[in-house]
């Protein structure tokens, strides 16, 4: 597995990481714990060194899974987790009640996450979503104190706007920004990616396979259970799934040429955008993990990329990525 450096920091990780959320949260019922721990170790055995979780995934259970599963190999891996929500009560029926990035709460989350992750330091600590009630300078200052105390190594932001990133970076250098980015969500190209390049900040795209859509395994007849987050997303409505198949056809055409899969082409495209981009596709299946990791071996030429760019420019993407109340939490 190739190694990439995130921005101008000293943080080096595998070119492809593993998003762990779906093992416990959001995509149907939680998966078997022992099977998921086996998958985590299989990822390490195949060269993955970068694992992504958050306190809100579960809530809490995903951090516990990652902590237990990776403890025997802790010295070989980088673990990222997140703060920024007030976790909901069991009776509320939701994972979180509201945003909460007050400095005292960040400290509480860090201490709790350290215990669940079974470690003495959090490698990368993201603000999960920007909290408009708390100045970003205060957030960055709180994480700076955690870094000085040896509890955190690097500071990250997730789905933050460019001006917020600049303000935070002035207080405590931001090592990584996490954002959705893929062939069917390219908004980061407009302002975010140029700013990250200027500031020397790495980019970690989540949902690099469009929450599974870019694997080519979905069509207008695909349905999602109530426990599957995608059932509430406009982009996964039947009419949108049907309209967006043209993007899958594009990936399929190049996949045949490269003797790869649509998912591998989608990930290889991301890797080809910048050397400081590290996607974190998630999966709960060993076969899919191996398929995703194979993307690092797919070489896209300048001609391939130009062909994809020209073809993708002719394909309008249907459907919003989030319902309005969740979209409002991004880009602040």
**Catalytic sites, residue numbers:** 57
Please count the CA atoms within 13 angstroms of the CA of 255 that sit on its side-chain side.
20
E strands, 53-173, in order: 78-83, 85-87, 96-99, 122-127, 152-158
State residue 112 phi and psi, 5-degree precision: -70, -40
Identify whether 59 is preceded by a cis peptide bond (ω within 30 of 0): yes
The two most distant CA atoms of the chain are separated, in Å, by: 55
C-alpha distances in angstroms, 319 versus 41, 183, 222, 235?
A: 37, 14, 16, 4
Task: Please state, in angstroms and rounded to a whole number, the distance separating the CA atoms of residues 29 and 170.
Answer: 41
Distance CA 94, CA 84 (A): 15
E strands, the chain, are 3-5, 12-14, 18-19, 50-52, 78-83, 85-87, 96-99, 122-127, 152-158, 174-180, 202-206
Alpha-carbon distance of 40 to 33, in angstroms, equals: 11
Residues composing the chain? 332
Question: Nearest-CA neighbor of 51 among 158, 153, 123, 3?
Answer: 123
For residues 296 and 18, what is the distance between their CA atoms, to the nearest angstrom? 13
The residue to which tokens 């215990």 are assigned = 115
Alpha-carbon gap, residue 80 to 230, rounded angstroms = 24
């Amino acid at each position: 597995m190739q190694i990439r450096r995130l921005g101008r920091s000293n943080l080096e990780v595998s070119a492809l990481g593993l998003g762990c959320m779906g093992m416990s949260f959001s995509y149907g019922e939680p998966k078997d714990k022992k099977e998921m721990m086996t998958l985590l170790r299989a990822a390490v055995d195949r060269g993955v060194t970068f694992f992504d979780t958050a306190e809100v995934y579960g809530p809490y259970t995903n951090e516990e899974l990652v902590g237990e599963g990776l403890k025997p190999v802790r010295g070989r891996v980088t673990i990222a987790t997140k703060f920024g929500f007030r976790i909901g009560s069991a009776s509320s029926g939701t994972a979180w009640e509201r945003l909460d990035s007050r400095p005292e709460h960040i400290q509480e989350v860090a201490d709790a996450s350290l215990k669940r992750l079974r470690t003495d330091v959090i490698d990368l600590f993201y603000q999960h979503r920007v909290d408009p009630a708390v100045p970003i300078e205060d957030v960055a200052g709180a994480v700076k104190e955690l870094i000085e105390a040896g509890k955190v190594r690097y500071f990250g932001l997730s789905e933050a706007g460019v001006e917020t990133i600049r303000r935070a970076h002035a207080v405590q250098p931001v090592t990584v920004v996490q954002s959705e980015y893929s062939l069917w969500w390219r908004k980061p190209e407009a302002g975010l990616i140029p700013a990250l390049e200027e500031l020397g900040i790495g980019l970690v795209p989540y949902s690099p396979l469009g929450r599974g859509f870019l694997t080519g395994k979905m069509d207008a007849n695909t349905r999602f259970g109530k426990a599957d987050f995608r059932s509430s997303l406009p982009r996964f409505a039947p009419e949108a799934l049907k309209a967006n198949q043209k993007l899958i056809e594009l990936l399929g055409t190049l996949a045949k040429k490269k003797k790869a899969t649509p998912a591998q082409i989608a990930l290889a495209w991301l890797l080809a955008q910048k050397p400081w981009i590290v996607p974190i596709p998630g999966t709960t299946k060993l076969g899919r993990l191996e398929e995703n990791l194979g993307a690092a071996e797919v070489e896209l030429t300048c001609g391939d990329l130009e062909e994809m760019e020209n073809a993708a420019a002719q394909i309008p993407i249907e459907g919003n990525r989030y319902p309005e109340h969740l979209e409002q939490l991004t880009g602040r």
